Chains A and B, each alone.
Chain A
Amino acid sequence: GEDVEQSLFLSVREGDSSVINCTYTDSSSTYLYWYKQEPGAGLQLLTYIFSNMDMKQDQRLTVLLNKKDKHLSLRIADTQTGDSAIYFCAELLMDSSYKLIFGSGTRLLVRP
């Protein structure tokens, strides 16, 4: 079945790097996403990676994909207090459903 798992909470100091991890189970996934949700807001797409890639970098964000282990990570360099939010990992199923399956979300707290 489809399942996406994340740890629920991460706390880092301002200026440090944050690494948020995610595992998924469905081998038919092709796109994997990271969304950010700030308090009281909807979800905002941060970045995504196609399953034939193993790394994608976008300014302070680095996404690593280990397809063999079905493991995805999001690294935020020089984490700022404005990065405090919930981060959701999601996979797009490329079977007939085209469903997005979300993880439970990781709450990132950035301490001054």
Chain B
Amino acid sequence: DVKVTQSSRYLVKRTGEKVFLECVQDMDHENMFWYRQDPGLGLRLIYFSYDVKMKEKGDIPEGYSVSREKKERFSLILESASTNQTSMYLCASSLRARTEAFFGQGTRLTVV
């Protein structure tokens, strides 16, 4: 079974804090993704990575950065958290040539 694990289910952070969301997959997938999910907006791609140390901006990268130092781990960083970054964050991974993306259980982040 493919497993994508996000380090926290729920997080509460203060405005201006630096926040790290961690994601680990155990299936040697090349591609990893970070999405945020907001009501009525579906899933929007923040960043993705197709290899170690490689990253590409998605549709809404502003206010975020990412790190992929190891193949199995993809970190999303909020440099200075703001209240409009309160959301559900979903990590996913997929094989380069395959099509199916596997998702983690999500991290619900609240910025106060």
Question: CB within 8 Å of B: which residues of A?
Answer: 4, 6, 8, 31, 33, 35, 40-45, 48, 88, 90, 92, 97-105
Contacts and interface: CB of A to CB of B under 8 A. Distances in A.
A43 B99 contact: no
B34 interface: no
Interface residues of B, number: 24
B27 interface: no
B62 to A, nearest CB: 17
Contacts of B40: 8, 104
A99 B48 contact: yes
B104 A102 contact: no
Contacts of B60: none
A97 B59 CA distance: 12
Specify the main secondary structure of chain A where it touches its partner.
strand
A14 to B, nearest CB: 26
Interface of B: 4, 31, 33, 35, 40-45, 48, 50, 56, 58, 90, 92, 99-106
B104 A88 contact: no
Pick from B42, B45, B103 the residue with the most CB of A within 10 Å.
Answer: B42
Contacts of B41: 104
Specify the main secondary structure of chain B where it touches its partner.
strand
A109 to B, nearest CB: 15
B58 A48 contact: no
A42 B101 contact: no
Contact of A98 (B31, B42, B43, B103): B31
Contacts of A99: 45, 48, 58
A61 to B, nearest CB: 15
A41 B45 CA distance: 18
B42 A105 contact: yes
A99 B58 CA distance: 8
B105 A42 contact: yes
Contacts of B102: 45
